[in-house]
A and B are shown apart, each in its own frame.
Chain A
Amino acid sequence: MRPLSRHLSTVAVLAMATGLAVALTAPPDQLQGNLQRLMYVHVPAAWLAYLSFAITFGASVGWLWKRKARLDRLAAASAEVGVFFTGLTIVLGSVWGKPVWGVWWTWDPRLVTTALMFFVYLGYLALRRATLDPTVRARRAAVFGVLAFGQVPVVHMSVIWWRALHQPPTVLRPGDPSIDHWMLAALVLNVLAFTAVYAVLLRSRIRLAADEEALAAAQDAATADLAGAAVTAPDYGRRTEPDV
């Protein structure tokens, strides 16, 4: 496990390069042509958004149970990366939607619920930023991290509950995936590559958070008064001679 952790960045870069090559060589879609290749980045970004928020949920539950600082750091880091991937999903979907649907944005339930999920987790990050005390921040963020996860199944099921423009699930659905198997292989490879990138970003963010906490603790220690500093020793040495 350790060598993989050490070379995670290299693995992520190689996986992304391979995924990109496979995405460009996979057969084009019969109707959309090369436009459909956006799927190989749009779907992994959406998957990573789900995964990030699921990890935030799990770490939040874990923090409420175990009260370990590393779980709070994991929840925060994963939410930050998840917000990035949710934003990326919306932008890529918009770029894909313009030539296919004719509009950058439409009032499709999947789009609306995804945008709401984006804002819910922006709220999570704003809540963290607004709370200065680390313990209070961790506790409140953990509660909200658990509540906010309720949005994720709504986003995933929105295409089933309300049939609209966005296509229903083609892979995560009951039965055989309704996608060409060569395309499916390219998609799975890109999902794995994006997951490796997620792991790199998550690890970096957690390390940065740990360093920030160490710096804050060191600064507090440097500026804080020492215990007992306010107490001065009585001055016995200067006994003045009585005036004669």
Chain B
Amino acid sequence: MISPRTEAPRPLLQALELTRKDLRLEVRAGEALLVTAPFGGVALLLVPLAVGTDVPMLRSVGSGMYWAVVLLFGVLITLRQSAVDAPQQVELLRLTGIHPAVQLLGRAGANAVLLLAFELAVLPVAVIVYDPPLNNWPWLVLVLPLVAIGLAVLGTLAGALTQGLAGRTTLGPLLVVPLALPLLLAATQTAEATRYGRPPWNWLALLLLVDLVAALAVVLSARSLEEGS
């Protein structure tokens, strides 16, 4: 008797399942929120001790410091998953026949969720330590996820490029951080624009553009990167 033919799940469902897999692994390990987030908080605390505890000055630089910490520590979060992947896991995932772009987008989804959680975990520390002006907080509802998505996709791409390399923990950030400059610039300039009463649509459009270009780069290069691993 021939069993009825089962259809493969759609790419979106596959990506969501891979996102769930990575998030479940992160819940077990707890590294992003229990180790990296406190480390980011410590960094925010150390900066005023290095540059001086002048309250008006800290208030003016607080937003920028927050986004710099998000960028630098967020890269560590995005590269963590690819660093812990065993070769057998990578081979097994390849044998399932899931398109490499779907694999990378699934991972990027998990990274975006973790980065958003990281941003939300570190935000109160920045508010308490630097006391930045909060009149622009509604815009954060858009800025936080857009930065998280952009950084997650770029980090996922760097993770795929450095997969299996001995120096990936240092090489990955070197590849991601210069390319992530538009994210840092747009995030900080959104705060600046709203402080002076200007709507930051141009900067939000830049964030969206970076996210889309990075996602397109992942989709176009995924097959080549899988062949190369």
- Residue positions of A touching B, CB distance < 8 A: 64, 116-117, 119-120, 122-123, 126-127, 130-131, 135-136, 139-140, 142-144, 146-148, 150-151
Contact, CB under 8 Å: B161 / A127: yes
Contact, CB under 8 Å: B174 / A123: yes
Contact, CB under 8 Å: B228 / A140: yes
Q: Which residues of A contact B213 (CB under 8 A)?
A: 150
In the complex, how many angstroms separate the beta carbon of A211 from the nearest chain B beta carbon?
25
Contact, CB under 8 Å: B228 / A123: no
Indicate whether A120 sits within 8 Å of B179 (C-beta atoms), given known contacts A130-B171, A144-B161.
yes
Contact, CB under 8 Å: A147 / B174: no
- B181 interface residue (CB < 8 Å to A): yes
Residue in A123, A130, A143, A147 whose beta carbon sits within 8 Å of that of B165 in the complex: A130
Could you write out 23 A-B pairs with CB less than 8 Å apart? A116-B178, A117-B178, A119-B174, A120-B178, A120-B179, A123-B175, A123-B178, A126-B167, A127-B171, A127-B175, A130-B165, A131-B165, A139-B225, A139-B227, A139-B228, A140-B161, A140-B225, A140-B228, A143-B161, A143-B221, A144-B161, A144-B175, A150-B213
In the complex, how many angstroms separate the beta carbon of A123 from the nearest chain B beta carbon?
4
Q: Which residues of A contact B221 (CB under 8 A)?
A: 143, 146-147
Q: Which 6 A-B pairs have the closest CB atoms?
A: A139-B228, A123-B174, A143-B221, A123-B175, A116-B178, A130-B165
Kindly list 4 other residue pairs between chains A and B, CB separation below 8 angstroms, not including A119-B174, A151-B178: A117-B178, A119-B177, A127-B171, A139-B228
Q: Which residues of B contact A135 (CB under 8 A)?
A: 228
Alpha-carbon separation in the docked complex, A146 to B161 (Å): 13
Give the bracket for the number of chain B residues in contact with chain A: 20 to 34
In the complex, how many angstroms separate the beta carbon of B56 from the nearest chain A beta carbon?
21
Contact, CB under 8 Å: A139 / B224: yes
B contact face: mostly helix, strand, loop, or mixed:
helix
- Residue positions of B touching A, CB distance < 8 A: 157, 161-162, 165-168, 171, 174-175, 177-179, 181, 213, 217, 221, 224-225, 227-229
Q: Which residues of A contact B177 (CB under 8 A)?
A: 119
Alpha-carbon separation in the docked complex, A142 to B220 (Å): 13
A contact face: mostly helix, strand, loop, or mixed:
helix
Q: Which residues of B contact A144 (CB under 8 A)?
A: 161, 175
In the complex, how many angstroms separate the beta carbon of A118 from the nearest chain B beta carbon?
9
Contact, CB under 8 Å: A143 / B225: yes
In the complex, how many angstroms separate the beta carbon of B146 from the nearest chain A beta carbon?
19
Alpha-carbon separation in the docked complex, A39 to B112 (Å): 45
Contact, CB under 8 Å: A143 / B224: yes
Q: Which residues of A contact B157 (CB under 8 A)?
A: 147
> Which of chain A's residues has its CB closest to B181's CB?
A116
Alpha-carbon separation in the docked complex, A139 to B160 (Å): 12
In the complex, how many angstroms separate the beta carbon of B104 from the nearest chain A beta carbon?
12
Contact, CB under 8 Å: A136 / B229: yes
Residue in B165, B167, B224, B229 whose beta carbon sits within 8 Å of that of A142 in the complex: B224
Alpha-carbon separation in the docked complex, A128 to B181 (Å): 23
Q: Which residues of A contact B224 (CB under 8 A)?
A: 64, 139, 142-143
> Which of chain B's residues has its CB closest to A144's CB?
B161
In the complex, how many angstroms separate the beta carbon of A208 from the nearest chain B beta carbon?
23
Contact, CB under 8 Å: A136 / B228: yes
Max chain A CB contacts within 10 Å: which of B168, B177, B221?
Answer: B221
In the complex, how many angstroms separate the beta carbon of B204 from the nearest chain A beta carbon?
17
In the complex, how many angstroms separate the beta carbon of B172 from the nearest chain A beta carbon?
9
> Which of chain B's residues has its CB closest to A124's CB?
B175
Alpha-carbon separation in the docked complex, A227 to B227 (Å): 28
> Which of chain B's residues has its CB closest to A64's CB?
B224
Residue in B167, B178, B179, B217 whose beta carbon sits within 8 Å of that of A130 in the complex: B167
